[in-house]
Amino acid sequence: MDTTHLKNIRRDLHLIPELGFHEIKTQQYLLDRINEIKSERVEVQTWKTGILVRINGTEPKKTIGYRADIDGLPITEQTGYSFQSTHQGRMHACGHDFHMTIALGTMQYFIENPITDHLLFIFQPAEEGPGGALPMLQSEEFQKWKPDVIFALHIAPELPVGTVSSKEGTLFANTSELFLDFKGLGGHAAYPHLTHDMTVAASSFVVQLQQIVSRAIDPLESAVVTIGKMESGFVQNAIAETARLEGTIRTLDPNTIETVKDRLDKLIKGFETSYDCSISIDYGSNYYQVYNKKEYVDLFERTVNQEGIQFKRANTAMTGEDFGYFLKEIPGFMFWLGVDSEYGLHHASLNPKEDALEVGVKAATRMIDVLAK
């Protein structure tokens, strides 16, 4: 698949971003492209809005898996592209249009250049939420073709085109969403003693929340608890009856995130008594850490260096990726692909350089070739 064709596919996909488990147009577009290049050696299964494509090997001893996520984000695009999103309030602001295009390019290469082992290309929905990896992993369709080794990539805006990056061990953190709803008793601002003010309760809760990390977590462990959104009240002269906090928990150890949640539960009980209110908690989507096997990272480094692609050792990031669920059961790794964007991931103006598409296909195909030997 030449560079122009890769760019055209990426731009087609960039036009139609869809949210998790609603990737209807995206799935159909991918199926259309797959049907254009498939051969008698190719089998296709759909799972919800995702797709599994197996290329049967000539003398298979194992199955090599490659995963691409397919959903977009609820972000209004501000790139100024001529191929800007046609779905209002939706954007491929995390590079999944790149991920899908690279997977298609890699797939075509191996349809045209057969190898001995089976290949499984996984087009996974709902990575951004509510989380598609775990249910897809557990599905009958996936288990039927479950790979023996698996890998994936994620674009890295801060790295130059021609560079890839990874590391052994934890690459991405364990993460959990956090939603808290406070319910008290509203009333007139002139009579606070007759109310249970949820603006005050929620504000105090945010402050106390920060002490979980500083006082309940081992200083040698890493943890982040962030409240990114707070809502309460409707008018300036009334006591707020309700309040809502939205945030995230991130840790490098899966046990630490459970410690944080246990402390949160205890904190809630205390606040319900102290502020005479009720508090409900929802942990939303939870993602398991992305943990890379050293042997595969080392092999990848040697492989890409031989192809003239620069390898850089990555740092552990507190970002989340549900590919971690695949790696929990199947050995493998994830790597960063440099795309040299002046804007970061989840930014409305993210503008990755399309020359990175060819680099991604080259890195993926060469790694699969080596894994099949």
Annotated active-site residue 276? The verdict is no
Annotated catalytic residue, options 71, 117, 127, 128:
128
Annotated catalytic residue, options 69, 97, 197, 301:
69
Within 8 A by CB and 6+ apart from 172, the residues are 287, 289, 290, 316, 317, 318, 319, 320, 321, 323, 324, 334
* Greatest distance between any 2 Cα atoms in the chain: 80
SS3 per residue for the chain? CCHHHHHHHHHHHHCCCCCCCCCHHHHHHHHHHHHHHCCCCEEEEEECCEEEEEECCCCCCCEEEEEEECCCECCCCCCCCCCCCCCCCCECCCCHHHHHHHHHHHHHHHHHCCCCCEEEEEEECCCCCCCCHHHHHHCHHHHHCCCCEEEEEEEECCCCCCEEEECCEEEECEEEEEEEEEECECEECCCHHHCECHHHHHHHHHHHHHHHHHHHCCCCCCEEEEEEEEEECCCCCEECCEEEEEEEEEECCHHHHHHHHHHHHHHHHHHHHHCCCEEEEECCCEECCEEECHHHHHHHHHHHHHCCCEEEECCCECCCCCCHHHHHHCCEEEEEEECCCCCCCCCCCCCCCCCHHHHHHHHHHHHHHHHCC
* Residue 369 zone, left/alpha/beta (φ > 0; ψ -120 to 50; rest): alpha
Q: Rounded CA gap, 6 and 24, in Å?
A: 21
| Residue carrying structure tokens 């990575």 | 127
Annotated active-site residue 298? The verdict is no
The residues that are catalytic are 69, 128
